[in-house]
Structure 1
Amino acid sequence: MIGSTLVPARIRLGLALAVTLLLVPVLPPMPVFEAFSIQSYLVIAQQILIGAAMGFMVQILLQVFVVGGQLISTQMGLGFASVSDPVNGVSVVVLSQFLLQLVMLLFLGMDGHLVMIDALARSFELIPVGMEGLGSRVFADVARSGGWMFASALLMALPPITALLVINFSFGIITKAAPQLNIFAIGFPFTMLMGLLIAWASLSGFLGQYQRIATEALEQISLIFLGGG
């Protein structure tokens, strides 16, 4: 939500500066480097890489629901209805955009941003500035988190997909029994309508799915970057 292109760059830079001012008093003592030495540039690049990796893990959490919405929309025949996503600057299906907005509101409403700021502050204690680095294992774990994203999205979308599969299977039986029936003229709008009803009914358990997926994502961030702390 904060990284959206709808938010001006000055506001994003101001928020980053505000977070920096809040974290500086609670951080451990920093080592001293020469301003224009090669070592200082390497340390800056290392810290940017660590922050980008942590931000990527949070983005993985949000993209789980985008991928899940795309899977459901494709099954219900709503994959052609796409809108522009201001966060990523690409076009996504309407259901994915709705789930993404809902997840971002839940993330802020359940103080997920405060948890991430706390994790960022603790990372300076567990990964001190100037140490050798995270190592290849950490970045391999970050890359493997993409597989977890697709697995979690499929698990989230499995109940609606199964229900829509039963509906399509029923239309196949109807077509076999009455070949003269124009199944394309009837099946497509009916499948879309039932898909919308199934998506609406599945919102009752959306909070539990979000809590489970968010807990798994935060556990992975803790294991990868904070050593399980």
Structure 2
Amino acid sequence: MLELTDVQIGSWVASFVLPMFRVAALLTAMPLFGSTMIPRRIRLYFSFAVTVVIAPALPPMPAVNALDLHALLLCAEQIVIGALMGLAIHMLFQVFVIAGQMVATQMGMSFASMIDPVNGVNVATLSQFFNMLVALLFLSMNGHLVVFEVLVESFTTLPVGDGLMTGQFWDLANRLSWVLGSAVLLVLPAITSLLVVNIALGVMTRAAPQLNIFSVGMPITIVAGMVILWISMADLLNQYQVLATDALQWLRDLIRAR
């Protein structure tokens, strides 16, 4: 008759349940996989499948009692780590969303908005276009595979029970300024060009007051913005590579990977 002790059962449960909390938190906070368009049951099944695949390659987990307070604290720790890792990738997408909102506001297309099916919020159409474009670039350049690789490595560099350092939370606050600064640099040529167009329209209005600037200026601004955006799209891939490299490097720094 096979007899199992509490220690053996605890080690088996911990070797699967604790990694699954980190994986599920990452997939929930990460763009694309954490979309509201994907049902919760599908996300749970996918987290279960990823955990089954990576569990044999993970280091030994601490044996815990499932009904112990220490086990609940370890589960909460894994959720925080996974959520921070997913947030690091989410910031990359938000750079392009904010950039699209800036250009849409400058060219007078901020009124053209739609419901983002991923996040369930109302965003500018141009922001949604940038969001879908960066999603395609992220998947085509195997960014999701890099995230899963860093996830597996995180169990070695940041093992279960090691905890998070306060500096990592302060670094997260600094990354918020990186998001805004990167978005401004991304669309700075387009914003500057549209500013010149608006100044020219202001001079035209001053020189010819009888000109209806509202009926003439808005179409000119929208058309000029579309042309400028079309020209600036030629260098979007190079800018995405720089921002994606920076975001993935911060993801590795977050888990203290070398």
Q: Which residue of 2 aligns with 1:33?
A: 64
Decide which of 175, 181, 190 is 1:145's aligned counterpart: 175
Q: Which residue of 1 aligns with 2:207?
A: 177
Report the alpha carbon displacement of residue 81 of structure 1 after superposing the two structures with TM: 0.6
Amino acid at match of 2:136: L
Deviation string, structure 1 residues 70-108 (Cα, Å, up to 9, x no partner): 000000000011111111110100000001001011101
Q: How does 1:114-153 map to 2 (within 5 A)?
A: 114-131=145-162, 133-153=163-183
TM-score by length of 1: 0.96
For the 8 Å contact 1:122–1:226, the answer to whether it is kept is no
Secondary structure (helix, strand or coil) at the match of 2:115 reads strand
Q: How does 1:80-229 map to 2 (within 5 A)?
A: 80-131=111-162, 133-227=163-257, 229=258
Report the alpha carbon displacement of residue 226 of structure 1 after superposing the two structures with TM: 2.3
Q: Which residue of 1 aligns with 2:107?
A: 76
Distance 1:83 1:39 in 2: 45
Runs of 4+ in structure 1 over 4 Å off: none
Amino acid at match of 2:73: L
TM-score by length of 2: 0.85
RMSD in angstroms over aligned alpha carbons?
Answer: 1.0
Distance 1:135 1:149 in 2: 22
* RCO comparison, higher one (Cα < 8 Å, 6+): 1
Distance 2:174 2:41 in 1: 34
Distance 1:22 1:45 in 2: 22
Deviation string, structure 1 residues 114-166 (Cα, Å, up to 9, x no partner): 000011111100111112x1121101111221111000011101111011001
Secondary structure (helix, strand or coil) at the match of 2:146 reads helix
Amino acid at match of 2:96: F
Report the alpha carbon displacement of residue 2 of structure 1 after superposing the two structures with TM: 2.3
Report the alpha carbon displacement of residue 224 of structure 1 after superposing the two structures with TM: 2.4
Distance 2:134 2:225 in 1: 20
For the 8 Å contact 1:160–1:199, the answer to whether it is kept is yes
Amino acid at match of 1:63: Q
Deviation string, structure 1 residues 2-48 (Cα, Å, up to 9, x no partner): 22222222221121111111110110111111111111111110011
Q: How does 1:20-59 map to 2 (within 5 A)?
A: 20-59=51-90
Give % identity: 49
Moved more, 76-85 or 167-176: 167-176
